[in-house]
Amino acid sequence: MDVYTDTIRDLPPADKLMLVERIWDDLAAETKPIPLPNWAVTEAIRRRDDMLADPNLGSTHEEVWRRIKVSRNE
């Protein structure tokens, strides 16, 4: 591994999360489109087509939040 990867692995979880948030914020501030690899575009199209063919494949907001609460034992 390289020194950057090793350094990141040594960070506590809270610091790793802060790093991810900073990277995400930096990406969100980008004014030019971020290029996607072809496999990601193909997968997005496949998932969209699957969802259009069978809307029951997805989850409602309520179902998602219920699963989150259950996973947190709330």
Cβ neighbours of residue 11 closer than 8 Å, sequence gap 6 or more = 19
pTM: 0.52
Model pLDDT for residues 33-53, shown as the tens digit of each residue:
989 999 999 999 999 999 999
Return phi, psi of residue 11, to 5°: -70, 150
The domain segmentation of the chain, as residue ranges, is 1-33, 35-74
The per-residue pLDDT of the chain, averaged, comes to 93
pLDDT tens for the chain, residues 1 to 74: 688 888 999 999 999 999 999 999 999 999 999 899 999 999 999 999 999 999 888 889 999 999 999 999 87
